[in-house]
Structure 1
């Protein structure tokens, strides 16, 4: 969770000028349980800053939000219950805008890439290296949104200072990258052939990531671009000093991993 070591999330949140929750337990052996844990943690943090008017930025996702078309920022997440993906925590957070909290949903692309990337795209890389060849699901037309880690970090900071309450921002560049192009680039880089994996064999070839790799989720970031139209001298809506789980951690990640541009 986004708590300081040894300190409960609610107590740390209460002492902070704002909260940015970037964590999630990716336990795919009990994904529903991970979602319930997420919802409980988010609820405790929201309760801790209720009525304060302080910002609460929540890491969410773009995968499979609006099957069949591009997901836009004004598309509400269909996930609302504790047993849904990520425990429906995005809708839980945004519903607190009328409780004296300033919630913003940070919808990250499934591919947040950069030097030393340890995210989703690293999984098919490791599989190709150990098993060969590089594979895509079916005809490889399913698209994954992508963003550079340094750009994602900057967007978090921008959202903290300029996003209105109950706003959703898409940390994604472009509409999406076809999975066949990802597999082809991977094959070229590793000197491996690229194959098409039938959907029914996705789990055997790619493990748990096979399900996600076959999902088509193009995105649109029209409203997110509005954040960049603010004048540099526009007063910051939040002057946060002690930001729990701060954007600075994401910015430091980009710097430490050698991905800052």
Structure 2
């Protein structure tokens, strides 16, 4: 299978590329920086050098592929409105390129806004600013074989630059590893390599479900995460008001736990990596 993937050099995207190549598929990746893509090019990935704003190039690359995976997302997590609009436009371009064919499209989303302990059957919150899944569902209604992989809020491993490193950075800056209130909220987690395998297995099994959950640790207490960070940094672990986290407060107080039972049964996915709390024992997270 020839797969076109956006975000090919990203944290999750690069792992997907390597997993696809290891399984014998061919891959074309959208990259902004060809120098950053050199290791993947050496592995056999072809590249399209462009950006998410170049919708014409995205449509052309999608039209030439057997399947499309969209993982790219704006670099600044605090600019969720701008990132969400760009994401919606990209998915529309990819969907238009695949319309009328049976070629699958996998897009990426998260668990924010879903009920605690969400299953694959739960629908996205219409109030959520991120419209990745809603846009994919619109294309599915038009006959495109589109589905969503919901990533756990922590896709962890050395080199992680997502939510947990943000918590570590805040803790270092403020001298306390904090949680909000009584810390009643939980986060899900998944190792980077396990997350990548969800995308490949979903493609190989024909993308028969509308939603897949890349979730290994279904519910990790946010307080336990704060405690692990505090212990590793040697700083207090204390409750704080939401303002302590500034723009990240909405994420820090949210419950983002989920089940992946249906995904595991549907595509034969069994997580193999370490847990989130195990990974947080690694000194590399705090360098």
- TM superposition score category, shorter chain reference: 0.7 to 0.9
- Number of the residue aligned with 2:95: 46
**Partner-residue secondary structure (3-state), 2:163:** coil
Contact 1:172 1:221 in 2 (8 A): yes
Higher alpha-carbon deviation: 116-125 or 69-78: 69-78
- Number of the residue aligned with 1:62: 111
Higher alpha-carbon deviation: 27-36 or 161-170: 27-36
**Partner-residue secondary structure (3-state), 1:19:** strand
Contact 2:190 2:216 in 1 (8 A): yes
Contact 2:119 2:260 in 1 (8 A): yes
Q: Does 1:178 align with 2:178?
A: no
- Number of the residue aligned with 1:227: 266
CA distance in 1, matches of 2:154, 2:202: 20
Alignment map for 1:74-223 (pairs within 5 Å)? 74-79=121-126, 84-86=128-130, 88-198=131-241, 202-203=242-243, 205-223=244-262
Q: Return the TM-score normalized by structure 1.
A: 0.78
- Number of the residue aligned with 1:5: 49
Contact 1:13 1:19 in 2 (8 A): yes
Contact 2:106 2:147 in 1 (8 A): yes
Contact 2:154 2:164 in 1 (8 A): yes
CA drift of 1:163 comes to: 5.0
- Structure 1 spans left out of the alignment, 5+ residues: 231-257
- Root-mean-square deviation (Å): 2.2
The alpha-carbon distance between structure 1 residues 218 and 28, as it changes in their structure 2 partners (threshold 3 A), is closer
Q: Deviations over 1:170-199 (max 9, x none)?
A: 11113211111000000111111101012x
CA distance in 2, matches of 1:60, 1:31: 12
- Number of the residue aligned with 1:235: none
CA distance in 2, matches of 1:192, 1:165: 47
- Structure 2 spans left out of the alignment, 5+ residues: 7-29, 31-47, 270-283
Contact 1:63 1:109 in 2 (8 A): no
Q: Return the TM-score normalized by structure 2.
A: 0.71
Q: Deviations over 1:121-141 (max 9, x none)?
A: 100101212321111111112
CA drift of 1:34 comes to: 2.2
Higher alpha-carbon deviation: 35-44 or 90-99: 90-99
**Partner-residue secondary structure (3-state), 1:196:** strand
